[in-house]
């Protein structure tokens, strides 16, 4: 087996089509087919089931793809380690939930950039912990802030922050006794705060008049500030203009939440990421 075979298997596994994998790798389709057959003969297993519309990994094929991904990731770490100059530089890609992006996190990010100007910071926004976890595992980002409960297998927690969530409305708007009459603004499915909202409404026997789904914190806060809807979020999201909102407490079981900064477990840590984690822990920022 050659290292290029690793890329072929991963490309075919991702796309489910030999033709698409060949195009991605700039190989002839016949070459990709031949290389797969050679691997199958070498290991005496069938890696893919062939169908008119594409290919599907067999059980052994899925195992092969998993090993191939580990090998490719190790090679990536080796390359990064050898090229690391020992001082923060290059690109630092951080995944961040909307709630953290709107908070005092930006203050520490600014301090980091001033301290380490050779680092180019790239922020990847998401509302779903599952999306951020996948991006870490796919080596698309170096680490991420994840809100709420998340599967931590394969991840290393570098920092953990406790926060509380509350019902947030426009100041002096509909009192909390009339929650059955209001609309709620939420992020798309997968957002932990949407899950809290849905559990709260179910627990209270309430049916939201209208569930407004938005994808950015700016739009969410605009809905609340204008009086269109209520939301359930950490109070940190309104720290810039707290005077325009009213905050209502939730029952104890809905109140507490956690935001963690995680990276890939057993993954190479660049100088840029290492210093970012150290600064984060030094500042002990609460979102």
List, in order of start, the domains of the chain with CATH numbers.
3-83 (1.10.10.10), 90-163+258-283 (3.40.190.10), 164-255 (3.40.190.10)
Instruction: Please state, in angstroms and as integers, the Cα–Cα distance from residue 144 to each residue in 72, 134, 161, following that order.
Output: 21, 11, 13
Report field, pTM of the whole predicted structure over 0.75:
no
**Among the listed residues 107, 93, 92, the one whose alpha carbon sits nearest the alpha carbon of residue 286:** 107
Q: Do 264 and 155 meet the contact criterion of CB atoms below 8 Å apart? A: yes
Would you give the distance in Å from CA 29 to the centre of its chain? 34
pLDDT given for residue 102 in this prediction = 61
pLDDT in tens, 86-128: 788 888 999 988 777 666 677 888 899 999 999 999 999 887 8
- Between CA 139 and CA 76 the distance in angstroms is 9
Which residues, at least 6 apart from 50, have a Cβ–Cβ distance to it below 8 Å? none
pLDDT in tens, 22-80: 998 999 999 999 999 999 999 999 999 999 888 999 999 999 998 888 888 788 778 77
- 286 has pLDDT over 60: no
21 membership: H or E segment, kind and range? helix 18-25
- 174 has pLDDT over 60: no
Percent of the chain residues past pLDDT 70, beyond the cut: 93
pLDDT given for residue 86 in this prediction = 75
pLDDT given for residue 11 in this prediction = 92
Strand partners, 10: none
pLDDT given for residue 149 in this prediction = 65
- 250 has pLDDT over 60: yes
- Between CA 218 and CA 241 the distance in angstroms is 12
* Average pLDDT of the segment spanning 151-169: 85
pLDDT given for residue 43 in this prediction = 92
């Amino acid at each position: 087996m050659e290292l290029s075979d690793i890329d072929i298997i991963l490309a075919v596994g991702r796309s489910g089509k030999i033709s698409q994998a060949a195009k991605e790798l700039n190989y002839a389709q016949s070459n990709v087919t031949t290389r797969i057959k050679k691997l199958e003969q070498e290991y005496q297993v069938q890696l893919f089931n062939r169908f008119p519309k594409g290919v599907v990994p067999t059980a052994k094929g899925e195992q092969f793809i998993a090993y191939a991904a580990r090998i490719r990731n190790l090679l990536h770490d080796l390359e990064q380690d050898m090229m690391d100059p020992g001082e923060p530089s290059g690109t630092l890609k951080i995944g961040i939930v909307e709630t953290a992006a709107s908070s005092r996190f930006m203050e520490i990010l600014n301090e980091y950039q001033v301290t380490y100007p050779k680092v180019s910071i790239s922020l990847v926004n998401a509302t779903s912990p599952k999306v951020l976890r996948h991006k870490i595992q796919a080596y698309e980002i170096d680490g991420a802030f994840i809100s709420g409960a998340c599967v931590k297998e394969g991840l290393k927690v570098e920092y953990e922050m406790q926060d509380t969530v509350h019902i947030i409305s426009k100041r002096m708007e509909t009192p909390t006794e009339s929650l059955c009459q209001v609309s709620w603004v939420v992020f798309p499915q997968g957002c932990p705060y949407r899950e809290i909202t849905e559990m709260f409404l179910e627990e209270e026997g309430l049916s939201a008049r209208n569930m407004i789904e938005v994808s950015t914190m700016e739009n969410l806060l605009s809905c609340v500030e204008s009086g269109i809807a209520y939301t359930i979020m950490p109070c940190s999201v309104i720290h810039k203009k707290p005077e325009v909102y009213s905050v209502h407490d939730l029952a104890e079981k809905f109140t507490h939440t956690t935001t963690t900064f995680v990276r890939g477990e057993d993954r190479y840590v660049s100088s840029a990421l290492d210093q970012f984690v150290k600064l984060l822990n030094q500042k002990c920022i609460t979102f």
